[in-house]
Amino acid sequence: MTNVRRVIETCTNVAILVVCCLFAWSYATHKTIGFGNSEADTSAHLINQTLRPIDGYSWSSNRNTLVLALRVGCSYCKASMPFYKHLEQLQQGGSLQAHLLTVMPDSQKSGSEEITGEGLTVDGLYDQPLRSLGVTATPTLLLVDTRGIVKKAWIGQLTPALEKEVVDAARGK
């Protein structure tokens, strides 16, 4: 009976260790930000950063660019899709002074499927490392001028007040 108990305890300890390792790996490789996370307010390090040109896009081709940095499987990105669709409608209606651009580290196929599956049809660049934009968490929105300088940045799933701030900034207010 003692041997059975030891085997069960050992298996339980190994299972707990495996689950803890999986959580740590998941956090390190798929970091996302949502409501109430202290990192949601740490976008200041991105402001005034000059971004390198992205393959296939020129910052100078538009007055401003609103970059939506997203990732396949990001639950906060998915939850923010209604807001991104609203931004797309404003852009199509001519009320934004910014071009919407989705940048994803995912493949063309999976990234495109993710955003079009949600009904979003903005331009997208795929296979782009988000770190090249200074982005370490998704979703992140960057308002970038014609020289590639980040004028405003928002990290995480946004509150209605922050969504209004994004719209106002993209309208040039």
Question: Tell me: the pLDDT tens digits for 116-169?
Answer: 998 998 898 899 999 989 999 999 999 999 999 999 999 999 999 999 999 999
Phi, psi of 138, deg, nearest 5: -120, 150
Average pLDDT across the chain, whole number: 85
Per-residue pLDDT, 23: 57
Share of the chain above pLDDT 90, in %: 62
In this structure, the chain runs to a length of 173
122 within 8 A of 102, measured Cβ to Cβ? yes
The span from the CA of 18 to the CA of 164, in Å, is: 43
pTM of the model: 0.75
Compute the distance between CA of residue 18 and CA of residue 169 in angstroms, rounded to an integer: 45
Task: Determine if the peptide bond prior to 160 is cis (ω within 30°).
Answer: no
| pLDDT per residue as tens digits for the range 17-58 | 766 555 554 555 544 444 444 444 467 888 999 998 888 899
Q: What is the pLDDT of residue 4?
A: 75
